[in-house]
Structure formats: structure tokens, C-alpha cells
Amino acid sequence: MLHKLTWKQIKERTAFALGNLGHSAFYGVLSTYFIVYVTSSMFHGIPKYTATKLIALITFLTVAIRLLEVVIDPILGNVVDNTNTKWGKFKPWLMIGTIVSSLLMIVLFTGIFGLAQINSWLFAILFVIIFITLDIFYSFADISYWGMVPAISDDSKERGVFSSVASFTGSIGWNGLTMIVVPVTTFFTFIATGHHRQGAQGWLALAIIGSLAAFICALCVFFGNKEKHNTIRESAAEKKTTIKDVFSNIIHNDQILWISLAYLLYSVAYVATNGELFYYFKFVLGQPGKFWIAGAVATIVGFCTSPLFPILNKFIPRKMLFFLGQISMIISYLIFIFARSNIILVTIGLIFFSFNFAQLVTVLSLTDSIEYGQLKTGTRNEAVTLAIRPMLDKISGACSNGIVGTIAVLCGMTGSATAADMTSKSIHMFQTCSFLIPMVLVILSIVIFAFEVKITEKKHAKIVEELEKHIEELD
């Protein structure tokens, strides 16, 4: 209850929640709208044939780089785990990662200062270097932010509170971005060029806004949260982990592997659909100006559902909340397929699509698997374990960028194309790739979570008890 909270608890929860507001906005710009910028404005002024080749190249490089970096994230988590400063091990990397990745994202949204128009080969080489560096430092920030959850509390319910308030503000950051993307990109393009359209100047402004939000919100976490110390964490901190330990502990923690696979299938579907919704409004509905509806609906639904998670979780197990969210996504895909140009049906579909607890359930399940792994292997890896989720986000982001970029090229949704240029064949192809394929992925995630994920709230409580007894016996 709110009246029982101390001022310190309110401050900590508020600061942590604000962190994900900017963090999610930044990730939305990078994972969803960067590829839109690439397909629509990055190569403006270049001959269409050359621009199409460059779009395909960037799409391929984005996918390839992120997939190759997958192996790096657990190593980054190990670096964070072995960090020891007066500010703790998470907050320094949160700030360093946020600052570096924010600056580099702005550089990418300048088209590397227009280099593509001058030398496409040099542009491609520098793009690889900048994108890899950006992704690495973004991972440092992401790992450190979510890694603070088990450092703040060892109680599963309390972790649920921190994660749910962060999920609430994260939905505002992510979906608020959806609401402002068209007005912001159009307004700043008009200021710079005098034309009412979405141009490179507008996309750059969006990147700057997302980067500033990430930096300011990271400062809130830095000054508003502090790592807690207890016997379980302190006993584990005495032993430094090696790179071999990192991968060994992940491989031997079966729950991490199954939770990760279920989340990956869901995340690819979710992130790709978010990117495709922009094209859906612009090219299928022919109403890009109403794209704000997608953000408004998601924000309202998130505003209503995220704070309810701790309450619902008292009566409904996390697994069931995961299933309800996934079934809701399946319903939304069916509505999108049959809605055609009916904006009312589309809005209903957006409501079902936004009603989802999957990410929150996954974060908590992965967090609880830390003690499971510690009991099973004798080694505690907080940041390494939570590096799994951003690693999965990279894979899903790579896959979704590849899906969205490929669909845009195949369906002719690039450059100055409009809804009037779309044929029935291209619209059918768009709907098949954008909605039917993700639906299959969501169904598979339900099956895996139902039969292979074993960690529940009750089981985690027993694991913590066993760990405490084991540590007392060793002492």
C-alpha cells in the first residue's frame, strides 16, 4: 500500500522507473525507426537504383552485425559483474554506455554526415565500425540498468514492483515515441526545408530527442538508486568469474535457455510488428498522419495494465499472465489481416496487441533464474544473467530490421512511394509477412513457456531459502 511506503522507497522506485522512460525511447528510435529512416530518407537525392542497393546493404549489415555481436553480450556482462567502484558495479557502466551510444546514434542519423552521397564504400566501412561500437555501449547501459534489479532486492515480489514500474514508464517512452514520430519528423523537416514531409532533418531531430531522453533518465537512476548488500550477494562477490565461467553457467542453466527461446520468438514478432505498423498506416491504410493512434492506444493500455501487474500477480501466476498476453497478440494479428482500411477495427487490433505482459514476465523469470543458477552451479552472475535479455533484443532487433527492410523493398515501400503506388499483390505480400509469420512465432513461444519454463514465484522462494541455509552452513 502507498501509505506504508517510506520516502526513500518512493524515491528509489521513481528514479528506477524514470530510467526506463528514456532507455525505451532510445531503443525505439534505434530498433524501429532507424530502418524507416534508412528506407525513406538516408539516401535521398541518390539515384533510385543506387539507393535501393544501399538500403539492401544497410539492412544486411544491420542484421549481420547484431547477430555476430550476440556472443559479446555475456562477455560485457562479465565485465560489469567484475567491476567494483564506490558507485557500485552497475551505475558507472550505465552512464558510460548511455553517453557513447547516444552520441553515435546521432551520428548515424546524420547519414554519417552525408558520406553516402560522396563515397558509398567508405560509408559502408564506417557504418560497420560505428554500429558495432554503438551496439556494444548500448548493451553496457541495458545490462547495467536491468542488472540493478537483483542488486536492489532479493525478494521476488519486490523485484516485481521495480520491474513493473519500469515497464510502465518504458511503455510511455516506447509508445510516446510512436505518438510523436510523425509530428516531430514532419515539423523539423518543415523548419529546415519549408516542405510538409518527413525528411532527413526530421529524423535527425527524433534521434537527438531520443538520445537526450536516455541521458537525462540515466542520470535519475545514477543519483536515485543504490545497490543493496546481503549475504547471498557478498558471498558470491568474493569470487571473480572468467569468460569460461560465463558461458559454462549459461549453458548449464536450463531455465535461462528455455526462457530465452520463448522470449526471442515473442520479441521478434513484437518488434517487427511495431516497425511494420508504420508502413501499414502509410501504405495500406493510406493515413500516415493517423499513426499517432498506435502510440496513443499502446500508451493508454500500458498506463492501465503495467501498474496492475503486481496486483494481478498476487492472484494470477506469471505464466498465466504470459499466456494471456500472447493470446491477445494472436487476436490482434487476425484483426489486422481482416481490417483492411477500417480504422476502427485497426484500433481494436492495436488494443489487443498492446495488452501484453511478456517482457515483464521474462525479465522477472530471468532475474529469478540468478538464484536458481547460483544454487545449481555455485556461482552467482547478476549482470551476466541479465545480459541475456539485451542479447536477445539484439537478435530480435536484427531479425526485425531485416524483416522490415526486406518487406519495404519487396513491396515497393521505399523512397517517395505512396499508398497509391501499392498493388493488391504487394498488399497481400505485406500482410502475409507482417502478420501471419509473427503469429506463428507467438504460438511457438506459448508452447515453450508452457512446457519448459519451471521457475515460479513459489519455487524461487524455496531456492532463496536453500541458498541462505547453504551459506550459513559454510560459515
Please give the pLDDT value at position 231.
53
- Identify the pLDDT of residue 107: 96
Spatial distance between the Cα atoms of 473 and 475, rounded to a whole number of angstroms = 5
Average pLDDT over residues 125-141: 91
Calculate mean pLDDT across residues 79-95: 86
Query: Per-residue confidence at 431, pLDDT binned at 50, 70, 90?
Result: confident
Confidence of residue 239 (pLDDT cuts 50, 70, 90): low
Sign of CA dihedral 152, 156, 162, 166: positive
Rounded-to-integer distance, Cα 282 and Cα 285, Å: 6
Segment 400-409, tens digit of pLDDT: 778 888 888 8
* CA–CA gap between residue 28 and residue 168 (Å, rounded): 15
pTM of this structure: 0.70
Q: Which region among 36-40, 191-195, 232-236, 294-298 has the lowest average model confidence (pLDDT)?
A: 232-236
351 contacts 471 by C-beta, under 8 angstroms: no
User: Would you list the DSSP string of 151-209?
Assistant: HH-S-HHHHHHHHHHHHHHHHHHHHHHHHHHHHHHHHHHHHHHS-SS--HHHHHHHHHH
For 451-470, what is the mean pLDDT?
83
Check whether 128 has a pLDDT greater than 50. Answer: yes
Give residue 387's pLDDT band: very low, low, confident or very high (50, 70, 90). low
Q: Give pLDDT, residue 360.
A: 75
Query: Please, what sign has the CA dihedral across residues 362, 363, 367, 368?
Result: negative
Asked if 35 and 181 touch (Cβ cutoff 8 Å), the reply is no
pLDDT score, position 412: 84
Q: Are 131 and 38 in contact, with CB atoms under 8 Å apart?
A: no
Whether the predicted pLDDT of 316 surpasses 70: yes
Judge whether residue 245 has pLDDT over 80: no
Q: What is the pLDDT of residue 405?
A: 80
Q: Lowest mean pLDDT of 50-54, 342-346, 387-391, name the range.
A: 387-391
Residue 241 has a pLDDT of 58
Confidence class of residue 244 from pLDDT cuts 50, 70 and 90? low
Average pLDDT over residues 266-291: 87
Question: Highest-confidence range of 201-205, 398-402, 451-455, by mean pLDDT?
Answer: 201-205
pLDDT at 188: 95
pLDDT, average across residues 229-243: 54
| pLDDT of 222 over the 70 cut | yes
pLDDT digits (tens, 9 = 90+) for 92-114: 999 999 999 999 999 999 999 98
Q: What DSSP string runs through 277-306?
A: HHHIIIIISS-GGGTHHHHHHHHHHHHHHG
Question: Quick one: pLDDT at residue 373?
Answer: 77
Asked if the model's pLDDT at residue 298 lies above 70, the reply is: yes
Residue 2: what pLDDT?
A: 44
pLDDT at 201: 93
Q: With 0-12 CB in 10 A as exposed, 13-18 as middle and 19+ as buried, what is 229?
A: exposed
At 243 the pLDDT is 60
Residues 83 and 207: their CA atoms lie apart, in Å, by: 30
Long-range pairs, 412-417, Cβ under 8 A, ≥24: 413/39, 413/279, 413/282, 413/283, 414/39, 414/40, 414/51, 414/52, 414/55, 415/39, 415/40, 415/44, 415/48, 415/51, 417/283
Q: Please give the mean pLDDT across all residues of the chain.
A: 83
Q: What angle do CA 29, 33, 35 make, to 5 degrees?
A: 125
- % residues pLDDT > 90 (the chain): 23
- pLDDT at site 1: 42
